[in-house]
Amino acid sequence: MEKKVLIPSDISQPGKDYLAEKGYTIKMGRGTDEQTILEDVADCDALLARNEHITRAIMEAAPRLKVISKHGVGLDKIDLDAARELNIWVTNGPLSNTVAVAEHTMMLILACAKKLVFFDRAARRGDYDIRNRVKGMDLEGKTLGLLGLGKIGHMVAKKAINGFGMEVIGYDPFLPADRWDPEVGRRETMEEIFAGSDIVSIHMPSTPETRNSVDRRLIGMMKPTAYLINAARGDLIREADLAEALQNGAIAGAGLDVFQTEPPSPDDPLFQLPNVTVTPHNAALTLETTDRMGLHAAMGIDEVLSGRQPSWPVVVPKEPRT
Protein backbone atom coordinates (compact mmCIF):
# COMPACT_ATOMS: atom_id res chain seq x y z
CA MET A 1 0.00 0.00 0.00
CA GLU A 2 1.26 3.47 -0.84
CA LYS A 3 2.18 5.74 2.04
CA LYS A 4 0.57 9.13 1.82
CA VAL A 5 1.73 12.42 3.37
CA LEU A 6 -0.64 15.37 3.78
CA ILE A 7 0.88 18.85 3.50
CA PRO A 8 -1.91 21.37 4.29
CA SER A 9 0.32 24.44 3.61
CA ASP A 10 2.97 24.33 0.91
CA ILE A 11 6.62 23.92 1.89
CA SER A 12 9.83 24.63 0.00
CA GLN A 13 10.99 22.18 -2.64
CA PRO A 14 13.77 20.28 -0.78
CA GLY A 15 11.29 18.75 1.67
CA LYS A 16 8.92 17.65 -1.07
CA ASP A 17 11.80 16.29 -3.15
CA TYR A 18 13.03 14.26 -0.18
CA LEU A 19 9.62 12.66 0.34
CA ALA A 20 9.20 11.94 -3.38
CA GLU A 21 12.65 10.34 -3.58
CA LYS A 22 11.70 8.07 -0.68
CA GLY A 23 8.61 6.93 -2.56
CA TYR A 24 5.87 8.71 -0.62
CA THR A 25 2.74 10.08 -2.24
CA ILE A 26 2.38 13.77 -1.43
CA LYS A 27 -1.14 15.07 -0.96
CA MET A 28 -1.33 18.86 -1.00
CA GLY A 29 -4.09 20.15 1.23
CA ARG A 30 -7.14 22.07 0.01
CA GLY A 31 -7.14 24.44 2.99
CA THR A 32 -5.96 24.97 6.54
CA ASP A 33 -9.22 25.09 8.52
CA GLU A 34 -10.03 22.16 10.79
CA GLN A 35 -12.83 20.69 8.69
CA THR A 36 -10.80 20.69 5.47
CA ILE A 37 -7.74 19.13 7.12
CA LEU A 38 -10.00 16.59 8.83
CA GLU A 39 -11.34 15.50 5.43
CA ASP A 40 -7.96 15.59 3.67
CA VAL A 41 -6.07 13.56 6.30
CA ALA A 42 -8.53 10.66 6.43
CA ASP A 43 -6.45 8.41 4.14
CA CYS A 44 -2.98 9.67 5.12
CA ASP A 45 -0.12 8.07 7.05
CA ALA A 46 1.63 11.32 7.93
CA LEU A 47 0.85 15.00 8.35
CA LEU A 48 3.44 17.73 7.83
CA ALA A 49 2.19 20.68 9.90
CA ARG A 50 3.14 24.32 9.54
CA ASN A 51 0.94 26.87 11.36
CA GLU A 52 -2.31 24.93 11.31
CA HIS A 53 -4.15 23.95 14.48
CA ILE A 54 -3.85 20.16 14.60
CA THR A 55 -6.68 19.12 16.89
CA ARG A 56 -7.87 15.89 18.45
CA ALA A 57 -10.71 15.78 15.91
CA ILE A 58 -8.22 15.82 13.04
CA MET A 59 -6.23 12.97 14.58
CA GLU A 60 -9.34 10.91 15.29
CA ALA A 61 -10.42 11.29 11.66
CA ALA A 62 -7.23 9.62 10.43
CA PRO A 63 -7.02 5.93 11.39
CA ARG A 64 -3.83 5.50 9.35
CA LEU A 65 -2.06 8.56 10.80
CA LYS A 66 1.21 7.52 12.42
CA VAL A 67 3.21 10.76 12.63
CA ILE A 68 2.70 14.51 12.76
CA SER A 69 5.93 16.27 11.82
CA LYS A 70 6.22 19.96 12.67
CA HIS A 71 7.76 22.32 10.13
CA GLY A 72 10.00 24.24 12.53
CA VAL A 73 10.03 24.13 16.31
CA GLY A 74 6.89 25.55 17.97
CA LEU A 75 4.35 22.96 19.10
CA ASP A 76 1.68 25.15 20.67
CA LYS A 77 -0.82 24.51 17.83
CA ILE A 78 -0.64 20.71 18.06
CA ASP A 79 -2.73 18.84 20.65
CA LEU A 80 0.14 16.85 22.13
CA ASP A 81 -2.04 15.17 24.76
CA ALA A 82 -4.34 13.83 22.06
CA ALA A 83 -1.36 12.55 20.08
CA ARG A 84 -0.12 10.65 23.15
CA GLU A 85 -3.52 9.12 23.82
CA LEU A 86 -3.94 8.13 20.17
CA ASN A 87 -0.39 6.72 19.87
CA ILE A 88 0.72 9.13 17.15
CA TRP A 89 4.34 10.22 16.91
CA VAL A 90 5.04 13.96 16.94
CA THR A 91 8.39 15.26 15.73
CA ASN A 92 9.82 18.71 15.06
CA GLY A 93 12.99 20.37 13.78
CA PRO A 94 14.79 22.05 16.68
CA LEU A 95 17.95 22.65 14.65
CA SER A 96 16.22 24.14 11.63
CA ASN A 97 15.69 27.79 12.58
CA THR A 98 18.24 28.54 15.31
CA VAL A 99 20.55 30.69 13.19
CA ALA A 100 17.78 32.69 11.52
CA VAL A 101 15.89 33.53 14.73
CA ALA A 102 19.08 34.37 16.63
CA GLU A 103 20.19 36.71 13.83
CA HIS A 104 16.74 38.28 13.66
CA THR A 105 16.80 38.83 17.41
CA MET A 106 20.13 40.64 17.12
CA MET A 107 18.67 42.72 14.27
CA LEU A 108 15.78 43.81 16.49
CA ILE A 109 18.19 44.60 19.32
CA LEU A 110 20.32 46.74 17.01
CA ALA A 111 17.29 48.40 15.41
CA CYS A 112 15.99 49.42 18.83
CA ALA A 113 19.31 50.49 20.33
CA LYS A 114 20.28 52.51 17.25
CA LYS A 115 16.69 53.76 16.66
CA LEU A 116 16.94 52.55 13.07
CA VAL A 117 13.31 52.96 12.00
CA PHE A 118 12.98 56.32 13.77
CA PHE A 119 16.06 57.73 12.02
CA ASP A 120 15.08 56.20 8.68
CA ARG A 121 11.72 57.98 8.74
CA ALA A 122 13.31 61.27 9.79
CA ALA A 123 15.95 61.13 7.06
CA ARG A 124 13.33 60.39 4.40
CA ARG A 125 11.38 63.50 5.32
CA GLY A 126 14.53 65.64 5.24
CA ASP A 127 15.03 66.01 8.99
CA TYR A 128 18.80 65.62 9.15
CA ASP A 129 18.99 67.70 12.32
CA ILE A 130 17.42 64.73 14.11
CA ARG A 131 20.95 63.41 14.63
CA ASN A 132 21.64 66.31 16.96
CA ARG A 133 18.42 65.92 18.94
CA VAL A 134 18.12 62.14 19.39
CA LYS A 135 20.84 59.65 20.22
CA GLY A 136 21.12 55.90 19.91
CA MET A 137 22.76 53.55 22.40
CA ASP A 138 25.97 51.49 22.28
CA LEU A 139 25.61 47.77 22.90
CA GLU A 140 29.15 47.24 24.16
CA GLY A 141 29.18 46.95 27.93
CA LYS A 142 25.39 46.81 28.19
CA THR A 143 23.56 43.94 29.89
CA LEU A 144 21.38 41.62 27.83
CA GLY A 145 18.92 39.54 29.85
CA LEU A 146 17.64 36.34 28.27
CA LEU A 147 14.46 34.55 29.31
CA GLY A 148 15.17 31.01 28.12
CA LEU A 149 18.52 29.48 27.22
CA GLY A 150 17.54 26.90 24.64
CA LYS A 151 19.30 26.65 21.30
CA ILE A 152 18.16 30.09 20.11
CA GLY A 153 18.77 31.84 23.42
CA HIS A 154 22.21 30.28 23.65
CA MET A 155 23.15 31.44 20.15
CA VAL A 156 21.90 34.97 20.89
CA ALA A 157 24.11 34.97 23.99
CA LYS A 158 27.16 33.96 21.94
CA LYS A 159 26.54 36.62 19.31
CA ALA A 160 25.97 39.31 21.94
CA ILE A 161 29.10 38.40 23.90
CA ASN A 162 31.51 37.67 21.06
CA GLY A 163 30.16 40.08 18.48
CA PHE A 164 29.16 43.09 20.56
CA GLY A 165 30.96 42.84 23.88
CA MET A 166 27.77 42.68 25.91
CA GLU A 167 27.31 41.24 29.37
CA VAL A 168 24.68 38.49 29.30
CA ILE A 169 22.53 37.17 32.12
CA GLY A 170 19.88 34.50 31.82
CA TYR A 171 16.96 32.76 33.47
CA ASP A 172 16.00 29.20 32.58
CA PRO A 173 14.68 26.97 35.37
CA PHE A 174 14.75 23.92 33.10
CA LEU A 175 18.42 24.09 32.10
CA PRO A 176 20.62 21.92 34.34
CA ALA A 177 23.57 23.64 36.00
CA ASP A 178 26.07 21.40 34.19
CA ARG A 179 24.76 22.67 30.83
CA TRP A 180 24.86 26.34 31.76
CA ASP A 181 27.19 28.48 29.65
CA PRO A 182 29.84 29.88 32.02
CA GLU A 183 29.85 33.15 30.05
CA VAL A 184 26.19 33.74 30.92
CA GLY A 185 25.41 34.93 34.43
CA ARG A 186 22.77 32.70 35.96
CA ARG A 187 19.77 34.34 37.61
CA GLU A 188 17.17 32.51 39.68
CA THR A 189 14.12 34.68 38.93
CA MET A 190 12.56 36.57 36.05
CA GLU A 191 12.46 39.62 38.29
CA GLU A 192 16.26 39.74 38.37
CA ILE A 193 16.38 39.71 34.57
CA PHE A 194 13.91 42.57 34.15
CA ALA A 195 15.45 44.73 36.86
CA GLY A 196 19.06 44.17 35.88
CA SER A 197 19.07 44.36 32.07
CA ASP A 198 19.43 47.10 29.49
CA ILE A 199 17.73 44.81 26.97
CA VAL A 200 15.44 41.87 27.77
CA SER A 201 14.97 39.24 25.05
CA ILE A 202 12.36 36.50 25.34
CA HIS A 203 13.14 32.94 24.22
CA MET A 204 10.54 30.88 26.10
CA PRO A 205 7.98 28.45 24.66
CA SER A 206 4.29 29.18 24.91
CA THR A 207 2.84 27.09 27.75
CA PRO A 208 0.00 27.61 30.24
CA GLU A 209 2.63 28.78 32.73
CA THR A 210 4.36 31.28 30.43
CA ARG A 211 1.40 32.83 28.60
CA ASN A 212 0.89 36.47 29.59
CA SER A 213 3.70 36.10 32.13
CA VAL A 214 5.42 39.28 30.90
CA ASP A 215 2.98 41.73 32.42
CA ARG A 216 2.76 45.18 33.99
CA ARG A 217 4.55 44.01 37.13
CA LEU A 218 7.64 42.68 35.33
CA ILE A 219 7.75 45.43 32.71
CA GLY A 220 7.53 47.95 35.55
CA MET A 221 10.82 46.64 36.92
CA MET A 222 12.73 47.58 33.76
CA LYS A 223 14.95 50.63 33.48
CA PRO A 224 13.37 53.59 31.64
CA THR A 225 16.25 53.26 29.14
CA ALA A 226 15.66 49.53 28.54
CA TYR A 227 14.20 47.67 25.55
CA LEU A 228 12.04 44.54 25.35
CA ILE A 229 12.56 42.10 22.46
CA ASN A 230 10.27 39.21 21.51
CA ALA A 231 10.83 36.83 18.59
CA ALA A 232 9.43 33.82 20.44
CA ARG A 233 5.63 33.73 20.86
CA GLY A 234 3.22 36.65 20.97
CA ASP A 235 1.11 35.34 23.82
CA LEU A 236 4.01 35.55 26.27
CA ILE A 237 3.49 39.32 26.66
CA ARG A 238 0.38 41.02 27.96
CA GLU A 239 0.28 43.53 25.10
CA ALA A 240 -1.95 46.10 26.78
CA ASP A 241 0.56 46.36 29.63
CA LEU A 242 3.45 46.74 27.18
CA ALA A 243 1.62 49.43 25.19
CA GLU A 244 0.91 51.34 28.38
CA ALA A 245 4.57 51.24 29.44
CA LEU A 246 5.71 52.40 26.00
CA GLN A 247 3.17 55.23 25.86
CA ASN A 248 4.17 56.44 29.32
CA GLY A 249 7.91 56.27 28.65
CA ALA A 250 8.35 53.66 31.38
CA ILE A 251 10.69 51.81 29.00
CA ALA A 252 12.56 53.06 25.94
CA GLY A 253 11.09 50.77 23.31
CA ALA A 254 10.35 47.29 22.01
CA GLY A 255 11.23 45.08 19.06
CA LEU A 256 8.51 42.55 18.20
CA ASP A 257 8.29 39.78 15.62
CA VAL A 258 5.27 38.08 17.21
CA PHE A 259 1.86 39.17 18.47
CA GLN A 260 -1.10 37.93 20.53
CA THR A 261 -3.26 37.85 17.40
CA GLU A 262 -1.69 37.16 14.02
CA PRO A 263 -1.94 38.86 11.71
CA PRO A 264 -2.45 41.86 14.00
CA SER A 265 -4.81 44.65 13.04
CA PRO A 266 -3.22 47.71 11.41
CA ASP A 267 -4.96 49.62 14.21
CA ASP A 268 -3.10 47.67 16.90
CA PRO A 269 -2.07 50.20 19.60
CA LEU A 270 1.52 48.97 19.43
CA PHE A 271 1.67 49.92 15.75
CA GLN A 272 0.86 53.52 16.57
CA LEU A 273 3.93 54.00 18.76
CA PRO A 274 7.18 55.43 17.34
CA ASN A 275 9.33 53.49 19.83
CA VAL A 276 8.18 50.08 18.60
CA THR A 277 9.93 48.18 15.78
CA VAL A 278 7.88 45.34 14.29
CA THR A 279 8.36 42.55 11.76
CA PRO A 280 5.65 40.14 10.49
CA HIS A 281 6.64 36.94 12.35
CA ASN A 282 9.28 36.23 9.73
CA ALA A 283 12.32 35.65 11.95
CA ALA A 284 12.57 32.03 10.84
CA LEU A 285 11.63 32.59 7.21
CA THR A 286 14.97 33.05 5.53
CA LEU A 287 15.62 31.13 2.31
CA GLU A 288 18.02 28.74 4.02
CA THR A 289 15.83 28.13 7.04
CA THR A 290 12.61 27.46 5.14
CA ASP A 291 14.46 24.86 3.08
CA ARG A 292 15.89 23.33 6.25
CA MET A 293 12.54 23.28 8.10
CA GLY A 294 10.83 21.48 5.24
CA LEU A 295 13.66 18.99 4.88
CA HIS A 296 13.86 18.23 8.61
CA ALA A 297 10.09 17.75 8.79
CA ALA A 298 10.25 15.36 5.83
CA MET A 299 13.10 13.46 7.47
CA GLY A 300 11.03 12.99 10.63
CA ILE A 301 8.20 11.50 8.59
CA ASP A 302 10.49 9.10 6.77
CA GLU A 303 12.17 7.98 9.99
CA VAL A 304 8.85 7.04 11.58
CA LEU A 305 7.23 5.47 8.52
CA SER A 306 10.34 3.41 7.78
CA GLY A 307 10.45 2.08 11.33
CA ARG A 308 13.44 4.04 12.61
CA GLN A 309 13.78 6.13 15.75
CA PRO A 310 13.20 9.78 14.76
CA SER A 311 16.02 12.23 15.36
CA TRP A 312 13.82 14.82 17.10
CA PRO A 313 10.89 13.10 18.85
CA VAL A 314 8.44 15.17 20.89
CA VAL A 315 5.68 12.62 21.51
CA VAL A 316 6.78 8.98 21.69
CA PRO A 317 3.73 6.70 21.58
CA LYS A 318 3.56 3.76 23.99
CA GLU A 319 2.11 1.54 21.29
CA PRO A 320 2.90 3.10 17.89
CA ARG A 321 0.31 2.60 15.20
CA THR A 322 1.20 0.03 12.57
* Active-site option among 104, 238, 281, 292: 281
Q: Is 138 helix (H, G, I), strand (E, B) or coil?
A: coil
Does residue 233 carry a catalytic annotation?
yes
The bridge status of strand 185-186 relative to strand 167-171 is parallel
Which amino acid does the sequence have at 194? F
Cα–Cα separations (whole angstroms), residue 70 to 113, 154, 213, 299: 34, 22, 25, 11
CA–CA dist 142, 191 (Å, integer):
18
- Residue 262 appears among annotated catalytic residues: yes
Catalytic residue among 60, 191, 262, 288: 262
Residue 46: helix, strand or coil by DSSP? strand
Q: Are 6 and 71 in contact, with CB atoms under 8 Å apart?
A: no
Query: What are the angstrom distances between the C-alpha of 193 and each of 221, 258, 293?
Result: 9, 21, 31
DSSP codes joined into one string, 146-158? EE--SHHHHHHHH
Q: Are strands 227-230 and 253-256 parallel, antiparallel or unpaired?
A: parallel
Question: Strands 313-315 and 89-91, how do they pair?
Answer: antiparallel
Out of 233, 238, 292, 296, the active site residue is 233
Residues carrying an active site annotation = 233, 262, 281
